[in-house]
Chains A and B, each alone.
Chain A
Amino acid sequence: MTPTAERVPGRGMKGTMEHTVWPHSIPQTCEELMRAGARLQMAYAWFPRPGQPAEVIYLADRAPHQPFELLRCSLAEQTQELPSMTPRIPLLGWYEREMHELCGIHFRGHPELRPLVLHEGAVPPMPPLDPRYQPTAMMPYTESPWDLPPVEGDDVQFLPFGPIRADVLESAQIVFFYVGEAILHCHPRLFFKHRGMEKQFEGLTPAMGALIAERVSGVDSVAHTVAFCQAVEAACGCEVPPRARFLRTVLAELERLYNHLYYLGHLCHTTTLKVGEAEGKLLAERSKQINGMLTGSRFLRALIMPGGLRRDLDLVALPGKLRTLQPEIFRYMEMLEQTNSHLDRLITTGHLPQQFAFDQGATGPVKRASGIQHDLRWDHPYAAYGQLAMEIPMRTEGDAHARVQVRMEEVRNSLKLLYSAIEAIPGGPVRVEFNPVPLAEGLGWCEGSRGSTYYCVHLNREGRLARVKVKSPSFSNWRVFPYTVHDTNMMDYAINEASFGLTMAGCDR
């Protein structure tokens, strides 16, 4: 492993503008970035050499059409410690806690040092992401009471809802402090589904890594795999053929389509609009069947690999099928927008102010519904998006209705993108030979249906994966979610949660 001091020219995180910083100048550098209008996206740590101190990496998005800024900071030999940036940049709060628990790095002055990723009572023998830790069994764990913010008041009732909830849902526990109908404080307790996926990448070839990336979040398979493959391709300087780029675009938009249709159906379930729910879920099913017919997998898996696609797809029948589905989708969305009982439950529910959304790191349709108009497909084009025209929908109300409207417009845009991509797709091969480059690093990104997905990949000497950092949109948005629940009421809770449309698997990894 190359120590940081000797930065070999040509190395470094491909796809970014990199800066090396000393630990004590992190606050200053971050301040400068923020003043220049950049927004931090994530932070993570890795161990370039087993037994040596970790490197902490911060990723920032300076401006549209400009490369990402990357801050790399090597920790001092004696202490694994850094000043916490959370008070100044709240969205880094969860990333720092994750680094604390999984890599053993201390952040001085962190305001919310409670267990996040590893539950109270989980005692791994060493920080899990340390490369020296090669577990042969699950770490020891005893179920322990939660460390929660103290709530004083005799009448306040404590309601731990979950992790097993009614209906077919993912496992997570939402802790409420409430008095009957009014919720005083909401504290989601996630990470029951933490599978240690980032560790699972270690030691695999990039081609195998794509299989893991597909299964980090099952309904965002394409987004994660595209981000992963772009990361390794950027790291190894592999140029994917144009046909593959267009096909990846088509697959990404198909995934967005079925996710948004299911979202609309599920939202109708929470507002008890029964026929609306049935229609939405039926349209999502149709969309998944189109996926199956086109690719053999309803979730568009087993296709994307580093270097392009595994096999070519026959897109001849696709526009016809989409055009058959399109009028039904449009009619459905129109009817939803005219149903007062449904809209009544959505308007002013779960209000997310723009400042909160920005500071807390909201991403995707949630962010665009609160007045921040950013989309990775437009700001940092990847795959074939640079060659296709698209609009970014935005709303400023920040309530559940705005989130729904943003997604409805995205459905319309997706269909337009699909038609134009299918029309403009060139011929040619769909894959190139992929040769892993030892010690390469790359950043890949993708705007999934739930928001921005980033993969940072580090390869080892043998060209296998040494460290993969997965930043999923649900991780960012789950942090934001409680702020829309405090001081609201129980009746609106399910609708609010459904209007965010997040997954636990993506967050917990």
Chain B
Amino acid sequence: MPVWTLFGLGRGLATTPWPEKQDSAVQPGVLGLPRYHSDRCDEDCRACTEVCLPGAIDVKDGKLHLDYGKCIACQLCTEACPSEVLTKSQDWAFGVRERKDLVWAEAFASPAAQELKNGIRRHFKRSLHIRHIDAGSCNGCESELQALNNPFYNLHRLGIFFTPSPRFADLLLVTGSVTYAMRGPLLETWNAMPEPRWVMATGTCAISGGATGGGYACGHGLEGILPVDLYLPGCPPNPSAIIQALLLLLNRAGQRVSGGRYAG
């Protein structure tokens, strides 16, 4: 009969030092959202818009309009583009507070100041309880969320926990593009949470519907349904990106994306 306790102790420490050691070696090789080099773009070619299924890349006023909030990281645009305007990158730590930061802005704006909203957020800095709700995802986001409590990421060391009831929750973490049947339960859950409470849209489906949004059974994410405090695109966003986004919410990490531009 094996003694699991001794076995576990013998395995040693398996946890990644992320995010103290800020390097992408925590997810070696994993691709993120494509990087946009607007200067290289030949404005007559429309190769990328043709292959973009969710419509993240669009042409407006003769210029390319890029909305990372709709990007599912399928990399087709990076392969279709003849002039290396959109390249594969490891930019997956894409958590932002405001939706407009996911949209490529021509005029470069410096990162928005980290304003504390009514000062209560500091109380949750070291202890956050999350209620997750699956509003119609493909299970990829759930798989990455479930990975957060494995020994490699070990979310508990950061003081962040998943809780079984919305009554104990501070943050409502939504995945999926909100199907017709989950809309009611989603609002019930939100209603059941005591204030202060926040919402995080995890994955492109929750932000804008992603590849699965629209149709007779599916909405377009949380737009118009709940007030969102944090957006994290990705299909699915990997656990390190989720951790970075949660720490961003708690003011323990900085936002890396501003005006669609990825820093660092």
Contact = CB atoms under 8 A, between A and B. Distances in A.
B216 A191 contact: no
Among B8, B14, B142, B217, the one with the most A-chain Cβ atoms within 10 Å of its Cβ is B217
B185 interface: yes
Contact of B75 (A143, A200, A217, A302): A302
Interface stretch (B59-67, B95-103, B133-141, B254-262): B133-141
B4 interface: yes
Contact of A215 (B152, B184, B212, B219): B212
Given A168-B145, A212-B211, A192 B136 contact: yes
Nearest to A266: B146
Contacts of A170: 134, 137, 139, 142
Given A128-B216, A166-B164, A294-B29, A208 B53 contact: yes
Interface string A207-225: 1100110011111010000
B251 interface: no
A211 to B, nearest CB: 5
Nearest to A215: B138
A164 B189 contact: yes
Contact of A505 (B76, B138, B162, B210): B138
B177 interface: yes
Contacts of B133: 164, 171
A34 interface: no
Interface in B97-149: 132-147, 149
Nearest to B212: A195
A139 B180 contact: yes
Nearest to A278: B151
A185 interface: no
Nearest to B9: A275
B96 to A, nearest CB: 22
A16 interface: no
Interface string A490-505: 0000000000000111
Chain A interface bracket (under 10, 10 to 19, 20 to 34, 35 or more): 35 or more
B138 A275 contact: no
B2 A339 contact: yes
Nearest to A124: B216
Contacts of B200: none
A296 interface: yes
Q: Which of A167, A216, A295, A506 has the most C-beta atoms of chain B within 10 angstroms of its own C-beta? A: A167
A211 B1 contact: no
Interface residues of B, number: 68
A143 B28 contact: no
Interface string A239-277: 000000000000000000000001001100000011110
B4 A273 contact: yes
Given A275-B5, A279-B11, A193 B219 contact: no
A171 B135 contact: yes
A168 B132 contact: yes
Nearest to B2: A335
B30 interface: yes
Given A119-B181, A163-B185, A279-B8, A297 B31 contact: yes
Contacts of B176: 193
Interface in B146-188: 146-147, 149-153, 162, 164-165, 176-177, 179-185
Interface stretch (A85-93, A284-292, A356-364): A284-292
B199 interface: no
Interface string B228-245: 000000011010000000
A335 to B, nearest CB: 4
A199 B150 contact: no
Interface string A98-135: 00000000000000000000010010100010000101
Interface in B48-87: 51, 53, 72-76, 79
A335 B134 contact: no
Interface in B1-51: 1-2, 4-5, 7-8, 11, 14, 27-31, 51
Given A293-B29, A339-B2, A281 B147 contact: yes
Nearest to B88: A296
Nearest to A200: B215
Given A193-B179, A215-B235, A285-B147, A296 B31 contact: yes
A200 B54 CA distance: 11
Contact of A171 (B134, B141, B162, B217): B134
Interface string A133-146: 10100110101000
Contact of A195 (B5, B14, B74, B179): B179
B11 to A, nearest CB: 7
A335 B147 contact: no
Contacts of B185: 163-164, 171, 192
A192 B2 contact: no
A390 B11 CA distance: 33
A424 interface: no
A217 B139 contact: yes
A282 interface: yes
Interface in A441-455: none
A431 to B, nearest CB: 11
Give the top 10 A-B pairs by smallest Cβ distance, nearest first: A218-B140, A166-B164, A281-B150, A218-B138, A275-B8, A296-B31, A293-B29, A292-B30, A196-B217, A275-B4
10 contacts: A164-B185, A167-B162, A170-B137, A194-B136, A200-B211, A215-B72, A217-B138, A275-B4, A279-B151, A298-B27
Interface of B: 1-2, 4-5, 7-8, 11, 14, 27-31, 51, 53, 72-76, 79, 88, 132-147, 149-153, 162, 164-165, 176-177, 179-185, 189, 210-212, 214-219, 235-236, 238
